[in-house]
Amino acid sequence: MAIPMPPAPDSDDEPELPPVAIASALPSPVREDPSPALPAPAPARSDEPPVRWGPLPTVRPEPVPAPRAEPSSTVRPDAPPPLRPGTVVVATAPAPVVPDDFATRANAWIAEQLPRLAQRSERLVLRVLHAAAQAEETGDEDDVLQAARAMHLSGPGGAWPTAAAAGLDARRLHEAAAAAFWDARNAHQALALQLRAFGANPLDADVAGNLAFYYLKQRPAAAESARRLALYALALPDSPHAAGRLEDWTTLAIASALVGRERDARNAFFVTLALSPSLDRQCRAAASAYATHGTPLRAPTEAMLARIRTWGRSGESPFCRWPPNWWVGVRAP
């Protein structure tokens, strides 16, 4: 059965298509955005509560850690070792502040205070030297000892008060100087350390006396400085040595001879004979001083040995013999 075809419309009576049909009939344009289109939101349900939009919460940025320093390939030798995890660090008190340069203080004190104090000390020491010159016979040493015990300055006379910490520093430097001289045989280093010890505590008789000793051990010997310091050390008040140290009397004798005070050198050697329990020790010291310094020490040393011979005690030590060893081979006039 044939299907009847509808009659062809006339060209003048062509029916108009609705806009929707025209739009669907046209090809869809190419989208520039390659991303797929988002699906349309689903229609809200009538039974869901309406969404209320409030202010957005404030988001605080997280702190950015500081950049870590790259570990250095060079490690300082004095750097402390790293702490172990769980180590408790206890805060410690700061170290006490001490003067930064004791040597500067010592040099200033020696230049400004020592000349006046040495002059005052010399007046007291000369009384002891005079008593020793008169003690020609054995048994007269008591007069020398009494005069020596009375020779003390009335006060430090311008020396600044020293704290306990400075006194401890002075003793440590004093011991270090002794080690440098006797163990290392370094007289220059010993003098530098002892000078700092004197700057820490100029009221210590041992410190002042050893500084005078180290001045004599320099090349050339600083005889005048050694003499002034020896006088000052002998007359210091509150010294544990009531009659002065035997070593300081020996230093005074040698320094006096080197500066041309032969009589003071001779009498100072006489004082050592009154204070020393052993003649051998003092004869050795005098012979060593003569061997080191030569002619200036010859007359004072011979005067001491002559007095020992007068006492009849030359045989107590080979260093006390008369005539002395340096007379061997010398033809008598």
**For each of the chain's 333 residues, which pLDDT tens digit applies?**
555 555 555 545 555 555 444 444 445 544 554 444 545 555 555 555 554 545 555 556 566 555 555 544 444 544 555 656 655 544 444 434 445 589 999 999 999 999 999 999 999 999 999 999 998 876 678 899 999 999 988 754 444 444 445 789 999 999 999 999 999 999 999 999 999 999 999 999 999 999 999 999 999 999 999 999 999 999 998 788 889 999 999 999 999 999 999 999 999 999 999 999 899 999 999 999 999 999 999 999 999 999 999 999 999 999 999 888 776 444 433
Q: Read off the DSSP letter of residue 26.
A: S
Q: Residue 129: which residues within 8 A CB-CB, separation 6 or more? A: 264, 267, 268, 270, 271
Rounded to 10 degrees, the C-alpha dihedral 78/83/84/87 comes to 140
For the chain, which domains are there?
Answer: 102-327 (1.25.40.10)
Secondary structure (DSSP) of 165-201: HHHHHHHHHHHHHHHHHHTS--HHHHHHHHHHHHHH-
Q: How many CA atoms lie within 13 A of 122 on its CB side?
A: 13
3-state class (DSSP) for residue 114: helix
Confidence (pLDDT) at 292: 94
Confidence (pLDDT) at 239: 81
Confidence (pLDDT) at 205: 94
Cα separations in angstroms, 108 against 53, 195, 225: 86, 11, 13
Q: Quote the CA–CA distance of 333 and 330 in Å, as a whole number.
A: 9
Confidence (pLDDT) at 325: 76
Confidence (pLDDT) at 326: 75
Confidence (pLDDT) at 23: 46
Strands (E), the chain: none
